[in-house]
């Protein structure tokens, strides 16, 4: 997947209890996420938060080849908070085998209002200081 040439096989369990599906691109991932019982995804913030907001169990697989790997930081923090499982390509099978979906804690979006107010007040204060510097200069 990704830029490689490997294409996985779509499959299902012998008793029909497991269906493994994949896609390389979808203009709307929401329908796929809503119908999934478990999501295994890359560790991009959009994919993570869209999945968590739908209340779906999630395993994120971190791309270790990225520089300044913010994906790793986000995934590890959310895994530490027990909102998802974090794996690397070599540990994905082990993560699946050892996971307990009942141990996951539902994610709830925070209120960004206090942060926005702080940014706005800091920006306003900096603008005033800048204007005072212009007036004095």
Residue 117 lies in a domain: no
Which phi and psi (to 5°) does residue 87 adopt?
A: -135, 165
CA–CA distance, 5 with 126 (Å, rounded to integer): 52
d(C-alpha 134, C-alpha 83), whole Å: 49
- 121 vs 90, higher pLDDT: 90
- The answer to whether residue 6 sits within a structural domain is no
In a domain, 86, yes or no: yes
Instruction: State the pLDDT at residue 52.
Output: 94
pLDDT of residue 31: 86
Alpha-helix runs per DSSP H in the chain:
30-35, 45-53, 70-80, 92-98, 113-136
Answer whether residue 7 shows pLDDT above 70. Answer: yes
Residue-wise pLDDT for 36-74, tens only, equals: 999 999 888 888 999 999 999 999 999 877 656 678 888
Count up the domains in the chain and report the number.
Answer: 1
| CB 59, CB 99: distance < 8 Å | yes
108 CA to centre of own chain: 13
pLDDT reported for residue 66: 67
Domain annotation covers residue 103: yes
SS3 (DSSP) at 32: helix
Domain-located, residue 114: no
Coil vs helix vs strand at 129: helix
| pLDDT > 60? residue 126 | no
Give the pLDDT confidence score for residue 128 in this predicted structure. 55
The answer to whether residue 39 is domain-embedded is yes
Asked if residue 63 is part of any domain, the answer here is yes
122 part of a folded domain: no
- Average pLDDT value for residue range 74-87: 94
The CATH number for 17's domain is 3.40.50.2000
* Residue 70 confidence (pLDDT): 78
Identify the pLDDT of residue 61: 94
Domain span at 36: 11-107
pLDDT digits (tens, 9 = 90+) for 105-115: 999 887 667 76
């Amino acid at each position: 997947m990704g830029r490689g040439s490997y294409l996985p096989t779509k499959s299902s369990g012998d008793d029909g209890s497991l269906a493994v599906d994949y896609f390389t691109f979808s203009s709307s991932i929401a329908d796929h996420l809503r119908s999934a019982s478990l999501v295994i995804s890359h560790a991009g913030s959009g994919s993570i938060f869209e999945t968590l907001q739908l209340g779906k169990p999630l395993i994120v697989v971190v791309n270790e080849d990225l520089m300044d790997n913010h994906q790793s930081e986000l995934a590890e923090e959310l895994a530490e908070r027990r909102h998802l499982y974090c794996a690397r390509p070599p540990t994905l099978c082990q993560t699946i085998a050892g996971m307990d979906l009942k141990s996951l804690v539902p994610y709830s979006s925070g209120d960004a209002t206090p942060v926005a107010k702080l940014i706005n007040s800091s920006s306003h204060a900096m603008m005033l200081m800048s204007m005072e510097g212009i007036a004095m200069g």
